[in-house]
Structure 1
Amino acid sequence: MGENVQIEVVVDAKTDLGESPTWDARIQRLYFVDINSKNIQYWDSTTKNHVVIDALEMVGTIALTADTNTILAAMQRTIVPVDVQAKTFGKPLLTVPEDHGVDSMRFNDGKGSPGGAFIVGRMHASWRNGEPGRLYRADVKTGELEDLMGPEAVGLPNGMAWDTARRTMYFVDTYAGTISAYDTNEAGVPVKGADGKLQGRCIVKVPQEVGIPDGMTIDRDGNLWVALPEGSALGCYDPATGELKRKVELPVKKPLACTFGGPDLDQLFVTTRVEKGEGASELWGSILSVKVPGVTGVAGAYLVNT
């Protein structure tokens, strides 16, 4: 399965906690964040420029908008616009209520849906000890949050991907080690049942010996590609069967998230994190490009309505 896979470093970013790889096909630019170092970074594939935008607090994830110079940053409890050229952060468009948890909580992974909604999760710093998270639809136009999953329903909200043909959103709960599927409306927002709760179905339970699932994306054939930070690899899953179709070993121990990009959408850009101690990879914290023969992604990231 791994024959002729091409892996190279595109940015030696030395991220402490590299997450949220987001490809802007309009300008051939890859965004990502270093959560622990409190910054947003981007790499222009045409000019090879690598730019760092420092923030005053942790940035969990970013999303694209219709303006190629403006992105959205989900911080600890606010979502703010960022002027990429000026490297400045605007006033909050949305603030999480205090009764949803403030101490030790922050925004984590999130993405724009096919219809322009911002689906984003929040996590607790002690998630490994069972402290739960939440999943929201964040309406930055009105400043309102819709609770999609409360603390009783999700541990650590993480990777998301959409199959628009099947009107399905796939979602990773890293704490549970699962990938679940949710029916969506035309905007790609998961729909609730008569009981007011999302009607998800678990399609993959990742065994501990394989790794824990983190960031995720989808390819043109509908297969899910998931970063496995305890498994030093990317896993490719068939959502119809839950089968692990292939496992691509990586030259780092802790890949965290992935997205398709490049002019032909045939590069899986992978973010990674710091490694310490004996056996640490020399490539920790770098942004990798992984080309798997015959595998391409779907067109571009979705734009959040602002």
Structure 2
Amino acid sequence: MIGTVALTADPNTVLVAMHRTIVTLDVRAKSFGKPLLEVPEDHGVDSMRFNDGKGSPGGAFIVGRMHSKWRDGEPGRLYRADVKIGKLEELLGPEEVGLPNGMAWDTARHTMYFVDTYAGTVTAYGTDEAGVPVKGANGKLQARCVVKVPKEDGIPDGMTIDRDGNLWVALAEGGALGCYDPDTGDLKRKVQLPVKKPLACTFGGPDLDQLFVTTRVEKGEGASEHWGSILSVRVPGVKGVDGGYQVST
């Protein structure tokens, strides 16, 4: 099970967060290296796995872990994974996050936006220069909820940010991408997709004007023809930022 992939300075090497380890992958040789990091037993192993994650603007690897029974309220965790020394720094503990998912950075505001799928929210956290959320005097991250997604719109999953600072969120089970204003929380536009369960989105292409969307399996009667595909979506006038930040290794 692969939760997420992150870039490194070597274009032929990526980091892969799997069930409970983070390893390197040589893209040319198609071979995995030895684990750089392994989750300690006391952080929960059974029924938990790495999920979404990204490199921050300063090269940190921010990554979440989820529980297979998250719909029943079993919590997750959010970490800064230091692959140089093989250690995890817990940013959000089980009492603070349900299902950790998409993230995006507004570097001008020193802000990281973060999706908790279980809560149906997008939360803003202040960051340091590296883009890592900072803790206050109480030892907790200083949080501000900026979006609450109504259940009828679907559940928020992966996320990215455009050049105007708007947040684009994959609405799993809602069959759409939602564009939100992080200042007001308003849904500015919705782009319907030919699938029911989009998982994540990111801008790409030479002009960063394509939203690439991953999708998940659908079963039973009424399953979408294109489930499992990677979709390319263009929204007139919308372009992304260079969010392909590299993790320092």
User: What TM-score, normalized to structure 1?
Assistant: 0.81
Please name the residue that 1:227 is paired with.
Answer: 170
What are the Cα deviations for residues 5-31 of structure 1, in whole angstroms up to 9, with x where unaligned? xxxxxxxxxxxxxxxxxxxxxxxxxxx
Please name the residue that 2:107 is paired with.
Answer: 164
Name stretches of at least 5 consecutive residues in structure 2 with no aligned partner. Answer: none
Name stretches of at least 5 consecutive residues in structure 1 with no aligned partner. Answer: 1-57
Is structure 2 residue 159 aligned with structure 1 residue 203? no
Please name the residue that 1:122 is paired with.
Answer: 65
Please name the residue that 2:123 is paired with.
Answer: 180
Is structure 2 residue 85 aligned with structure 1 residue 142? yes
Q: Which amino acid aligns with 1:175?
A: Y
For residues 152 and 280 of structure 1, the distance between their equivalents in structure 2, rounded to whole angstroms, comes to 35
Please name the residue that 2:221 is paired with.
Answer: 278
Whether the 8 Å contact between 1:235 and 1:244 is mirrored in structure 2 is yes
Q: Which amino acid aligns with 2:96?
A: A
Q: Which has the higher contact order (CA 8 A, sep 6+)?
A: 1
Structure 1 segment 247-286 matched on structure 2, within 5 A: 247-286=190-229
Q: Which amino acid aligns with 1:163?
A: D
Q: How big is the shift at 1:275?
A: 1.3
Is structure 2 residue 45 aligned with structure 1 residue 105? no
Q: How big is the shift at 1:169?
A: 0.1
For residues 76 and 197 of structure 1, the distance between their equivalents in structure 2, rounded to whole angstroms, comes to 27
Percent identity of equivalent pairs: 84
What SS does the aligned partner of 1:90 have?
A: strand
For residues 295 and 210 of structure 1, the distance between their equivalents in structure 2, rounded to whole angstroms, comes to 22
Is structure 2 residue 2 aligned with structure 1 residue 59? yes
For residues 14 and 241 of structure 2, the distance between their equivalents in structure 1, rounded to whole angstroms, comes to 21
What SS does the aligned partner of 1:265 have?
A: coil
What SS does the aligned partner of 2:71 have?
A: helix
Structure 1 segment 66-81 matched on structure 2, within 5 A: 66-81=9-24
Q: How big is the shift at 1:233?
A: 0.2
Aligned partner of 1:295 among 202, 214, 238: 238
- Aligned residue pairs, count: 249
What are the Cα deviations for residues 17-66 of structure 1, in whole angstroms up to 9, with x where unaligned? xxxxxxxxxxxxxxxxxxxxxxxxxxxxxxxxxxxxxxxxx111010000
Which stretches of structure 1, 4 residues or longer, exceed 6 Å deviation after superposition?
A: none
Q: How big is the shift at 1:279?
A: 1.5
Aligned partner of 1:92 among 35, 45, 58: 35
Q: How big is the shift at 1:300?
A: 4.1
For residues 109 and 101 of structure 1, the distance between their equivalents in structure 2, rounded to whole angstroms, comes to 17
Please name the residue that 1:131 is paired with.
Answer: 74
Structure 1 segment 13-92 matched on structure 2, within 5 A: 58-92=1-35
